[in-house]
Amino acid sequence: MKKIVVLATGGTIAGASASVGDGVAYRAGEVPVSRLLAQVPGLEQLLGDSKLVAEQVAQVNSKDMDYGLWQALALRCVHWMAQDDVSGLVITHGTDTLEETAWFLQRMLDVAPLAQVLTTAQARKPVVLSSAMRPSTARLSDGPQNLADAVSVLQDTRASGVLAVAAGHVHAARAVHKVQPYRVDAFSSGDAGLLAHVEEGRVRWLRDPGMTGEPDVLATAQSAKTLWDCMRNPETAWPWVEVLVSHAGADGRNLRACLQAGVQGVVLAGSGNATLHTGIEAAASTLMQQGVPVWRTSRCLEGSAVAGAESVVPLAMCGGQVLRPMQARTEMVLQVLAGVRP
């Protein structure tokens, strides 16, 4: 019998409110995973011959996501994915930082075979992040449907890598980002597009969920081993990497202040095609001369920056594609942690 493992971390999907009509003033991370699963109608039919195993990893509001929980998630993913009878994982997660956790897990599982913590086949098992915009106590909570859809995606043989499933849509870890603070359909994949729709328990794929692109700097045995050694060490000193925004009237004081305070990396969310105010550009040049990595990307909600514009600051690239600001920050954290010079 195959197993599907649910790792619960809290979030709105596990939120509780005093009133069924209140979808805003609630406490995230209150309801245990056993109760969440009990709220999914027809779950046994969806599972078919598979068995569900649930584990409460944490109970947090995802706005408070931290590195310690990231480490715990990475290790629990490896623990379960290494077992032959486990076909995939569901991670219940808050929406606020879901895009950061998704990219973190995608990158860690990308390099797991190189670090010999998983085989290539094990690392390809799907990991689906499931979330909700309404607490579990809401009159029409979206959590149960999103959980059911996550199970449906895991049951599909084409699913692989780290995915996010919400409002009937399947997003890739590279592209997913939150664009709405309240609506149930809160996520977008921009012009990269959705991977699939979940319709009546069936997955209709729009494109291949497999990761594509050029080899990247983390894809070496040494960097992979260094990363996983850090994951196993509870005393790991995580690097300080900031995201700063280029805007009208910017003069670079924020970058210079960060340099003086010991920042170890900066991602600049530039205007338009990742363009930077002259004050920001000058300050960024100073940081780079001091050995602090600085990347730029676009603050625009849709689309991706296009290479070619003049700047001393390189674009935030991975696998031949420009990353969004929050994924770029996560990527820089991992590269600094791995001892790779970004």
Residue 310's pLDDT band, with cuts at 50, 70 and 90, is: confident
pLDDT tens digits for range 311-335: 999 999 998 889 999 999 999 999 9
- Indicate if the pLDDT at residue 4 is higher than 80: yes
293 CB-contact burial (10 Å; exposed 0-12 / middle 13-18 / buried 19+): buried
pLDDT tens digits for range 79-101: 999 999 999 999 999 999 999 99
SS3 145: helix
pLDDT for the residue numbered 256: 97
How far apart are alpha carbons 103 and 170 in whole angstroms? 15
pLDDT tens digits for range 270-304: 999 999 999 999 999 999 999 999 999 999 988 88
Structure tokens at 206: 């729009």
Tokens 């983390």 map to which residue? 218
Distances, alpha carbon 267 to alpha carbons 308, 327, 336, in Å: 18, 10, 13
* Residue type, position 68, single letter: G
Percentage of residues in the chain with pLDDT exceeding 70?
Answer: 98
DSSP H or E segment with residue 53: strand 51-60
pLDDT tens digits for range 209-242: 875 455 688 989 999 999 999 999 999 999 999 9
- Indicate if the pLDDT at residue 193 is higher than 90: yes
pLDDT for the residue numbered 214: 54
CA 219 to mean position of chain CA atoms: 19
